[in-house]
Amino acid sequence: MLELRNITFRVRDEGEEKGIIHNLSLNVPDGKLVVITGPNGGGKSTLARLIAGIEKPDMGQIIWKGQDITEWTVTDRAKAGIAFAFQQPVKFKGLQVIDLLRLASGKNLSMMEACEYLARVGLCARDYIDREVNASLSGGELKRIEIATVLARKADLTIFDEPEAGIDLWSFQNLIEVFREMRESVKDRSILIISHQERILNIADELIVLKDGRVSAQGSKESIMPTLIGTASAIPECRKAAEIEGGETV
């Protein structure tokens, strides 16, 4: 289980200190799919990066499987079973899709095994396995490869930071299936998704609403979801966040 205790995170912006996360505490239980939602700028992505170790909190503790990992590096946390899918996938000159999948799985994956991960994100493996993970791939392709690498990690906790960002409608539906499959195939592993897409919220076991760096609501999907419909925290896939931003929020 992952536990955040009294996390505070601040950034310096033009000499001024700005609070992003304020004294935040929450739990991600084992075997659950938890979605963190909330309006833009509420600190969702920052929270994901704090858990992965990319950012370090100014105060508070991060507890993973009973150990305090607050001071652990990104590498240590990855080795301890935390996987992270970037909102903006990183591009590499020279590194191929197969290289990333092998590094992610930590073993010398056979072509067949690697192809299975690509097939799960709807990519024809033969066309992609030798491709360089560079700018010749579209945003949607890069995103699917990012998700395939995270699947290959088979981590105890997988964090997806806005997995729907930059993805086309077909991929989006495919993505929902990927999450469903992940949840059903590995019962004791946890999935944490940062998203404000209604369809992703709908497959959650638990929802956490983050606003202005604080948890404004947390509970089962059934209890929280009705309060979110039609707000910036639960956007139907056919509508853009911009249409709702500035309107009513939770």
Partner 1 sequence: MTQLDEIQKRLLREVADLHEVPEGAYNIRSNSQSAGRRSTANIEITSKTDVSGLEIRIRAGTKHESVHIPVVMTESGLKETVYNDFYIGEEADVVIVAGCGIDNCGNQDSQHDGIHRFFVGKNAHIRYVEKHYGSGDGKGKRILNPVTEVYQEEGSSVEMEMVQIKGVDDTNRTTLAELGKSAKLVVRERLMTHGEQNAISTYDVRMNGEGSSADVVSRSVARDHSYQKFDAKLLGNAACNGHTECDSIIMDEGRILAVPGLEANDIDAALVHEAAIGKIAGDQIIKLMTLGLTEQEAEEQIVNGFLK
CB of 209 to partner 1, least distance (A): 26
DSSP code for 73: -
* Beta carbon nearer to partner 1, 92 or 170: 92
Minimum CB distance to partner 1 smaller for 80 or for 217: 80
Q: Least Å distance between CB 37 and partner 1?
A: 23
Helix runs in the chain, H state only: 44-52, 74-79, 97-105, 111-120, 125-128, 139-153, 169-185, 198-202, 221-228, 241-244
Query: Smallest gap, in angstroms, from Cβ of residue 56 to partner 1?
Result: 13
The residue among 59 and 80 lying less far from partner 1, judged by its C-beta, is 80
The two three-digit tokens of residue 97, written as one number: 């899709």
- Tell me the closest approach of the beta carbon of residue 223 to partner 1, in angstroms: 32
| Integer Cα distance of 126 and 228 in angstroms | 42
DSSP state of 216: E
79 or 240, CB closer to partner 1? 79
Binding site for partner 1 (CB under 8 A): 52, 54, 73-75, 78-79, 83-84, 86, 90, 92-96, 99-100, 103-104, 106, 149, 153
What is the Cα Rg of the chain in Å? 18
Of 153 and 211, which CB lies nearer to partner 1 in the complex structure?
153
Least distance to partner 1, CB of residue 158, Å: 11
Q: Which is nearer to partner 1, 103 or 186 (CB)?
A: 103
Nearest Cα to Cα of residue 175 among 201, 147, 152, 149: 147
And the tokens for 146? 């990012």
Q: How far is the CB of 109 from partner 1 (least distance, A)?
A: 13
Q: Phi and psi of 211, rounded to 5°?
A: -140, 130
**Which residue type, as a one-letter code, is found at position 32?**
K
